[in-house]
Amino acid sequence: MDVIQEGRDHVVLKENGVLNAYSSDYPGSYDCDDAWNLEKFKQKFRVDIITYSETEMEFDLIGIHAALVNAFRRLLLSEVTILIIILFCLFLFICTFDNQIIWVGPVPSMAIEKVFIYNNTTIIQDEVLAHRLGLLPLKADPRLFEYRQPDDKEGTEQDTLEFELKIKCTTDPNAPKNSTNPDDLYKNQKVYPWLPIGGQGDIYKEEEVGPVSDDILVCKMRPGHELDLKLHAVKGIGKDHAKFSPVATTFYRLLPQLRLTRDVVGEQAERLQKYMLDWTKVAKVNDARYDTCSRNVYRYDDLKDAIELTRVRDHFIFTIESVGALPPDVLFIETLKLLKTKCRAYLDELNHA
């Protein structure tokens, strides 16, 4: 691989530093015909889904700039973007896809915002209980609700989910003798999810709008303890409060690439495998995708020249872990719509300036 191409496509990990970490994929960086071309971008850009489940997805974004990938991440986390990212995206994203714009809001979720405590005789203080309830992730689909107005103290069925949690712990008269298990001795000693009330109880089922998991423990009680609460869940976005973030986490990393520069056999191969490679009698690169590119190999003078550690500059391994309200693929599509809407809004502002 020639020096120019390696500098453009790879970040090189050396013993005492990282080479080619600066951005160079813009016109004028090299003495060659490197002007940005939309058709070349379309041909090179690719999305490969690696793993998928109801709450987690890992996929590859290939042939794309780090600024745009980071914009996706920040939009998913908190609906925060930087103007320079948006301006860069105008040339890549708006032109690449069709001009049909779907106007959408930030990527939201539903969370408990108000807790009305009528009775709480448990050992958990009111403010701690309210904080815990607010952080429980809900299954409720935010696309079915409107944003609640700031000056609206009551809310409506269109913008507020109302729950009721009313429970009292008592001694179980039929408890087995000699048992010390609280589950046997007491009734309602563990507080689990609650039910929607009012007209919403006829519209939504508990498994559709309650906590994402039925076994999330709210608190434990003992005989005489009682809870009487009403809860209001509203629609919000991550930059308002972390509880509204639709993802548990989302992150990306560059694809590792390893290359052996010479044959490594015997004890050297075994030692090299300890850090990064598969081996039998001869070291070989099996799959570098999940390699950490540990530079511990540079500790050994007889191995440091045997391997080159690089990362592909425009190949991003992107991971989304949803909290459960919306699947990760839907969250990413909503993020694309949101970014496209923001780009269009900035273009309109520039045209009117």
Q: What is the domain count for the chain? A: 2
What pLDDT score was predicted for residue 57? 94
CB atoms within 10 A of CB 85: 20
Looking at residue 118, what is its pLDDT?
A: 94
> Does residue 319 contact residue 58 with C-beta atoms inside 8 Å?
yes
Residue 14 lies in a domain: yes
Asked if pLDDT for residue 83 goes beyond 80, the answer is no
Query: What is the average pLDDT across 152-168?
Result: 85
Q: Which residue has the tokens 């099996």?
A: 286
Band of pLDDT at residue 79, cut at 50, 70 and 90: low
279 falls in which pLDDT band (50, 70, 90)? Answer: low
Q: 231 and 113 share a domain?
A: yes
E strand residue ranges, the chain:
10-14, 17-19, 46-52, 56-62, 109-120, 160-168, 170-171, 186-187, 190-191, 195-196, 219-220, 226-236, 247-260, 278-279, 283-284, 307-322
170 falls within a domain: yes
Q: Quick one: 75 and 147 in the same domain?
A: no
Q: Of 207, 236, 265, which closes a domain?
A: 236
pTM: 0.72
For residue 136, the enclosing domain spans 109-236
User: Quick one: pLDDT at residue 28?
Assistant: 44
Whether 42 has a pLDDT exceeding 60, the answer reads: yes
Q: Provide Rg for the chain, Cα atoms.
A: 27
Would you say residue 320 lies in a domain?
Answer: yes
**pLDDT over 70 percentage in the chain:** 79
What HEC string does 123-142 produce? CCCHHHHHHHHHCCCECCCH
Mean pLDDT of 22-47: 65
Gap between the Cα atoms of 208 and 333, Å rounded: 22
